[in-house]
Each structure stands twice: as C-alpha cells, then as structure tokens.
C-alpha cells in the first residue's frame, strides 16, 4: 500500500501548525508539508497547484479561524473542479467538543473524518495510505 507523502495544514494557530507538522514528519519521515495560517491562502494554493498535478494529499482543517471558518473554507472548496477534489482527503482537526461540529463534518461528502487536537502519530499512521483520500 502506498503512503501519502503530501500534507496541508490549515489552522490560524501557529503553535498548533508546528506541532501537527512535527508529528507528521516524526511519524512518516521525509514528507512534504504545507502550512497555512490564512485559509484564503490555502484555497489559492490548492486551486493553483492541484489543477496541474495529481498528488494524493491529506488536508487537516481547523474549524474556528477568524477570517474564514473551516465551514466557510469548505463552501469555497466545494466549488473546485472534481479533478482537484479527488486528490485531497480533508480531515477536520479541532479542539471543539461540540457534537454538532462532528455531525456536520460527517454530513459533508468531502470531509473524511473528524480528529481531535492534538494530532497523534497513531492517527497519522491510520490515515497515511492512498485509501484515505
């Protein structure tokens, strides 16, 4: 089974991004990790990069961000061409304990799962295969 080597982290909390990136790299070794504290920048990056490539990628998305929430991010993401959306498996990563967030995530066909912060190595190992997309 092939391991996913590309990860995108979208979270306005710099410390959370660094921690998440470290867990991914410590668990999987040399992987490509893009970090965005601004969700609008992440959307532009995805639109530009993934319209020209075929790279299986896992995206970790925070819900509570000041400029664009995770849910608003998803509204914009859903407008992307299917070719882009087929490459990316999105996982909500949140410290939220609100069950409504988890239920909302489960109803979105582009969200593969809901993960509590902080990210753990065993979680990365369970998601890091092509079947996770």
Query: Looking at residue 2, what is its pLDDT?
Result: 77
How is residue 121 written in tokens?
């190595």
Query: Looking at residue 122, what is its pLDDT?
Result: 93
Query: Looking at residue 42, what is its pLDDT?
Result: 98
Under the phi-then-psi rule, with left for phi > 0, alpha for psi from -120 to 50, and beta for the rest, what region is 98? Answer: beta
For the chain, which domains are there?
A: 6-132 (3.40.50.2300)
Query: Looking at residue 1, what is its pLDDT?
Result: 61
* Whole-structure pTM value: 0.93
Query: Looking at residue 128, what is its pLDDT?
Result: 84
For residues 3-21, give the mean pLDDT: 94
Helix (H) or strand (E) holding 108: none
């Amino acid at each position: 089974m092939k391991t996913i080597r590309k990860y995108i982290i979208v979270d306005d909390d710099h410390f959370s991004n660094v921690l998440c990136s470290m867990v991914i790299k410590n668990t999987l070794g040399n992987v490509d990790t893009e970090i965005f504290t601004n969700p609008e920048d992440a959307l532009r990056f995805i639109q530009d990069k993934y319209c020209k490539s075929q790279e299986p990628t896992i995206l970790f998305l925070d819900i509570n961000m000041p400029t664009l929430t995770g849910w608003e991010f998803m509204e914009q993401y859903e407008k992307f061409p299917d070719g882009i959306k087929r490459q990316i498996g999105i996982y909500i990563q949140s410290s939220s304990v609100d069950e409504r967030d988890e239920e909302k995530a489960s109803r979105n066909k582009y969200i593969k799962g809901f993960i509590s912060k902080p990210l753990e190595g065993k979680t990365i190992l369970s998601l890091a295969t092509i079947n996770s997309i």
